[in-house]
């Protein structure tokens, strides 16, 4: 039986990990990246010269791209895949926000192209172990075609119509940012109060087990290899705050968290978000506690 053909567009940290996992799982993988050498270094299969070239002959196309601008370029730009799709199922996995999903979905409907969104919760280690949480928005029939591919990457959660998964991903990443900022603050506060740093971290991780994956960062100031870069979290928090503003939702913790991460951005943009432990001990707050 011929292997399912999968094209992976974008071979950064996440896209590269997706391509490696799928190739190791027996899929016939073609890749594309705007930096061709990055795609070639993966050695998982043929490298397309353009997005349109990479998807030729594929059954399922996954895209994992930097931001909304990159998504627009790959889907709607010159050699974009919406225009050149010929029966492939397109699965957009980036964190670009709901607006860009609506833009590409509108063009997909006009051209009769099938589209799902499937942003993920988790980073490279979760890809490698097949334990991502995959948030899928779109039609059930199309999800069933994509399911054999997506289930090699993790647990699939159908969350509603197109755009629903993008919104839920922003809510989830807001929570990740808040937890990380709170952990950094309380680690410093507990240590200042005379407690042993490792014991403080152990207690915090009991309440927030996801911190364990970043123990080296929080306890030993080791923020590479990067699982989720500070600049990417700030980008996602900006998207989230735009979403919440339009919904007229009050999000003071998210606003403060964005300010804390942005404060450390100049020296830590490419480091993992655990680098929030390096922020200055005191940053300007909207309301200071009066003595």
Per-residue pLDDT tens digits for 50-101: 999 999 999 999 999 999 999 999 999 988 999 999 999 999 999 999 999 9
- The Cα–Cα gap between 255 and 241 comes to 7
Whether CATH 3.40.390.10 fits 167-278:
no
CATH superfamily membership of 5-160? NAD(P)-binding Rossmann-like Domain (3.40.50.720)
What pLDDT band is residue 179 in, cutting at 50, 70 and 90? very high
Q: Please indicate whether residue 5 is annotated as part of the active site.
A: no
pLDDT in the model for residue 280: 60
Mean pLDDT of the chain: 94
The region of weakest confidence among 104-113, 125-134, 265-274 is 265-274
Domain ranges (residues) in the chain? 5-160, 167-278
Rounded distance, CA 288 to CA 143, Å?
Answer: 49
- pLDDT band of residue 287 (cuts 50, 70, 90) is very low
3-state DSSP call for residue 108?
Answer: helix
pTM of the model: 0.93
* Cis bond upstream, residue 256 (ω within 30): no
The active-site residue, picked from 38, 169, 212, 235, is 169
């Amino acid at each position: 039986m011929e292997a399912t053909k999968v094209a992976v567009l974008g071979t950064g940290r996440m896209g590269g990990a997706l391509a490696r996992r799928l190739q190791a799982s027996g899929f016939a993988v073609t890749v594309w990246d705007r930096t061709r050498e990055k795609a070639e270094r993966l050695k998982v299969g043929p490298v397309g010269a353009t997005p349109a070239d990479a998807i030729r002959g594929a059954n399922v196309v996954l895209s994992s791209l930097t931001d909304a601008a990159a998504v627009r370029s790959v889907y709607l730009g010159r050699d974009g895949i919406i225009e050149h799709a010929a029966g492939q199922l397109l699965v957009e996995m980036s964190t670009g926000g709901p607006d860009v999903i609506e833009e590409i979905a509108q063009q997909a409907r006009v051209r009769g192209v099938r589209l799902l969104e499937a942003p993920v919760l988790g980073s490279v280690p979760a890809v490698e172990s097949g334990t991502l949480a995959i948030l899928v928005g779109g039609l059930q029939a199309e999800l069933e075609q994509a399911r054999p591919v997506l289930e090699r990457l993790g647990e699939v959660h159908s969350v509603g119509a197109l755009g629903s998964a993008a919104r839920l991903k922003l809510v989830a990443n807001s929570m990740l940012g808040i937890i990380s900022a709170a952990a950094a603050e309380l680690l410093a506060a507990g240590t200042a109060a005379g407690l042993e740093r490792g014991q403080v971290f152990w207690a915090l991780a009991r309440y927030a087990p996801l911190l364990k994956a970043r123990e080296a960062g929080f306890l030993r100031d080791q923020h590479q290899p990067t699982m989720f870069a500070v600049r990417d979290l700030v980008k996602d928090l900006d998207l989230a705050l735009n979403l919440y503003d339009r919904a007229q939702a009050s999000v003071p913790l998210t606003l403060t968290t964005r300010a804390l991460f942005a404060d450390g951005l100049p020296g830590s943009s490419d480091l993992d978000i655990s680098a929030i432990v390096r922020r200055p001990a005191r940053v300007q707050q909207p309301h200071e506690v009066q003595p």
